[in-house]
Amino acid sequence: MALRTAGSVLVVFLWSVAVVLGQNGWSVTYTKKSICTLKGSTVKLTCSYIYPSGRVTTNLWFYKKDAKGNPVSLLDNPDYKDRVTYRSERKNGHTLSIRALRESDSANYKFRFITDGNKGKYTGDPGVTLSVTGLQVKVTPAAEGQKTLTCSTTCTLTDNPTYIWYKNGHKVKEDTSSLDSDSFSDADSYSCAVKGHEDLHSPAVYGPRNTSVSVSPSGEIVEGSSVTLTCSSDANPPVQSYTWMYRKNGDGSKNTSVSVSPSGGIVEGSSVTLTCSSDANPPVDKYTWYKKNVTSPKASGQSYSITNIISEDRGEYYCEAENTIASNNSTTTLMIIVAGKQTSVVTAAVGIIVVVLVLILCFSGLMWFRKKASKSTSDTRDKADDGQGDSIPVYDNVSIMAMSPTDKPTDKPTDKQDDIHYASIHFSRSKNQEVPLYSTVQLPQTQKQEEDVQYSAVKFNRPLLPPNPQQHKHLRRTHLFSTAQSTNPEPRNTEQN
């Protein structure tokens, strides 16, 4: 018993002496004894060492030994080929660099050196513990409508980095905390990174996408057979649970479409009614109207009326039909194109032109009739002038004023005397009369008369009676007959002696 105790004391003494010698003459000091860094990044392990005498002939970094117990330099390890470098930065100082870190690089790395003095060898313990981690966003339910996002790592990153948050690939904020409690939408994706390593994003997290169902065996299924339905979905984190729903053919909403009344062009100030229809069983119990690129709904109900349309109402409209089973958007959208108010400028211009043309035609017709009437009168006068040399007296456009028996001839006609108008007066001499003088007067007829008859109205003042009694007597023997046709259906003959 005493010998056993003495032996134990000797072993402890010798070990203590070795430790003292090692601490006094040999040592390795590491800058950091523990490092947590990102996967894909580069890390540097630095140390300094001392030894009692001689010259250092060999140095190396290792984390494992061969079968004989000899340390294997990282330079000779195929897993680290082309990824590590050794570099002496100062006297008795050494740095190991590892690029493109992998999670499998997590290990305890030690530095070993050999001197030429008495073949001295020394390994620095306990070495440097390297932990390589990737980033991962974890989603934790929080308050209603919100979820907490955590930029998670398997170890605590060294140097207290700043975290960067991304939404749908776009940077949204920086924070020293790895937590983000903003509202989380299943339709969006979220990721995080560490400032200084923005290229090392975490995998994005998002709700289930591209959910589909497959059946096995495929093909026609007959009664009494068995099938297996498989649901798959793209989601991160992975889908935790699947729920199967059964719906008979015809259930839910389908064939949802929209229509507009009235159809055709739509101008500002007008009104239209949009109608949504859907084939559903059970029937649709809710219709909601949306305008494309506008998040909030425009209206509810199967019909949506837009009154007093303005230019801002232009755009694409669609409806959502919903029953107790499901909802469905219209397969087509309705484009409303609003045109500005249009005044009938062209119509007004055409109307003005037509009125002007009618006035021009009327004026031209009036001038033509006046010209033709003037020409007819001129022709009649020319004929009268040409017949003055004949033995038959011909008179044209003669006006004789009627006188009562009590009237006396005066030198001037009075204003109270009525004017008598004649047109186309022709006189001829009969063989049995000394001076038979006839006058046929035709007044303008109604529109029922022939259009070829031409009239000329001529106004003459009554001439003075001849002072010579013989001439007066001669005139009294002259019978002047005048037949005038007027609007009165019965002709009237007047005879003056």
pLDDT at 424: 47
Average pLDDT for the chain: 74
Is the model more confident about 183 or about 321? 321
User: Which of 26, 368, 38, 48 is CA-nearest to residue 196?
Assistant: 38
Identify the top-confidence range among 15-29, 136-150, 219-233, 442-456.
Answer: 219-233
pLDDT at 435: 43
pLDDT at 236: 85
pLDDT at 449: 41
State the maximum Cα–Cα separation within the chain, in Å, rounded to a whole number: 210
Strand, helix or coil for residue 364: helix
pLDDT level of residue 475 (50, 70, 90 thresholds): very low
Position 290 pLDDT exceeds 60: yes
- Rounded CA-CA distance 331/314 in Å is 19
- Rounded CA-CA distance 17/335 in Å is 94
Strand, helix or coil for residue 210: strand
Position 17 pLDDT exceeds 50: no
Share of the chain above pLDDT 90, in %: 27
CA 78 from centroid of its chain's CA atoms: 60
Which pair of structure tokens corresponds to residue 153? 């790592």
Domains along the sequence of the chain with CATH: 23-132 (2.60.40.10), 134-207 (2.60.40.10), 256-339 (2.60.40.10), 375-496 (no CATH)
Q: Write the pLDDT tens digit of every residue in 92-151.
A: 889 999 999 999 999 999 999 988 877 688 999 999 999 999 999 988 877 666 778 889
pLDDT at 143: 65
Cis peptide before 469 (omega within 30 of 0): no
Any long-range contacts for 234-239 (C-beta under 8 Å, 24+ apart)?
A: 234/208, 234/209, 234/210, 235/206, 235/207, 235/208, 235/209, 236/203, 236/204, 236/205, 236/206, 237/138, 237/139, 237/205, 239/208
H helices of 136-287, in order, are none
Mean pLDDT of 188-211: 90
Mean pLDDT of 57-65: 90
pLDDT at 280: 83
Q: How many CA atoms lie within 13 A of 291 on its CB side?
A: 11
pLDDT at 183: 65
| Residues 6+ away with beta carbon under 8 Å from 357 | none
DSSP assignment string, 18-45:
HHHHHHHH-EEEES-SEEEEETTS-EEE
Mean pLDDT of 332-353: 68
| Residues 6+ away with beta carbon under 8 Å from 345 | none
DSSP assignment string, 53-99:
SS-EEEEEEES-B-TTS-B--GGG-GGGTTTEEEE--STTEEEEEE-
pLDDT at 412: 45
Position 277 pLDDT exceeds 70: yes
Mean pLDDT of 465-477: 47
User: Which of 417, 429, 422, 401 is CA-nearest to residue 482?
Assistant: 422
Three-point CA angle 3, 8, 14, nearest 5°: 125
pLDDT at 414: 43
pLDDT level of residue 391 (50, 70, 90 thresholds): very low
Which pair of structure tokens corresponds to residue 213? 């169902």
pLDDT at 6: 43
Place of tokens 């940077």: 171
| Residues 58 and 86: beta-carbon distance below 8 Å | no
- Rounded CA-CA distance 321/275 in Å is 11
Mean pLDDT of 204-229: 89
Mean pLDDT of 153-157: 92
- Rounded CA-CA distance 297/468 in Å is 115
What's the chain's Rg over C-alpha atoms?
63
